[in-house]
Amino acid sequence: MANVEKKVNVAILGATGRVGQELLLVLEQRNFPIGELRLLASARSKDTTITFKGKQYPVIEPSAEAFAGIDIVLASAGEEISKKFAPMAVEQGACVIDNSNAFRMEPTVPLVVPEVNGAALANHKGIIANPNCSTAQLVVVLKPLHDAAGLKRVIVSTYQSVSGAGKEAIDELEMQTHSVLHEKEMPPQVFQKQIAFNLIPHIDKFLDNGYTKEEMKVVDETRKILDLPELPVTCTAVRVPVVISHSESVTVDLERPLSPGQARELLASSPSIEVWDDPSKGIYPTPIEATGQDPVYVGRIRHDTSSAQGLNLWVVADNLRIGAALNAVRIAEYLLEHNLLKKFAHAGS
């Protein structure tokens, strides 16, 4: 991050979860200027300690008092927890960057991927929403394409890793895989069907229109982040037996011609994107290669044979970083770099 001398007090809400742990890792890797660090989690984590930069920190239960003196709250504890505690934190003078679905489509809450629409942070009122993990990596790729040639339509199919459903989902994949290999049965508990050696076209609940809630998140959030409320977007979301990193097959129809070669050059010029696209040499991104990495990887860029001005792309990114922890920390960095914290330091008082 850019050099910011001021240290800020940070709380992580949901510190013991998978994303909470990734937040701590990213904060350390990026040398975020932390003054005081407070780790918050549910009562079942009472008496737990977590090591950060060689120091032990106790895990405490969230409460209004727990947010006193905190500048930034990085929340990754789920929708209901965020709805309960985010307003409390704002009342205490903190800015909340929330990873849940609680506030994403609220008209007054910015939904932000900093390299795409960071300017929207100037209008925040104390709560900032982090997008769905699939949306986050998608819009990083769509933004430069739209700026260059204009988006006319977007079709996306996601291949989402089990880590998007939490630690219990990772455990289920690992134990179920072991059971299948040893010819034992292990009925699904986290997922609707067996995930080991299988695909499940069902993430979150089904809605009346036949889409899942996850699919409609991608549709609605993409439109909001790109500020294209009428953009035609459709999505099919699929859970796959991969531990970390989401993949997406993306088709775009463009208003103006853009060749695959031009698209490669355009995307490669983005600091957040790495283009791996030489299939004849086996060069294209996969989830294993993206895991633990910061870029959004793009490959298989080619002309869409069904559309005169269409392109097909393959997009891969670490969902725990791009879709959650890294994006949240980048939002916090943007707030500091643009002096947007103190403007709303007492937004709720």
Q: Report the catalytic residues.
A: 133, 246
Q: Are 122 and 134 in contact (CB under 8 A)?
A: no
Reference 14, options 109, 85, 65; nearest CA is 85
User: For residue 326, which of 291, 274, 300, 298 has the smallest C-alpha distance?
Assistant: 291
Residues contacting 78, CB < 8 A, separation 6+:
14, 100
CB 245 within 8 A of CB 316: yes
122 and 340 in contact (C-beta within 8 Å)? yes
Residues 1, 74: Cα–Cα separation, whole Å: 17
Report which of 271, 264, 272, 285 is spatially closest to residue 322, judged by C-alpha positions: 272
Report the DSSP beta bridge partners of residue 275.
298
* 9 three-state secondary structure: strand
Cβ-in-10-Å burial (0-12, 13-18, 19+) of 256 comes to exposed
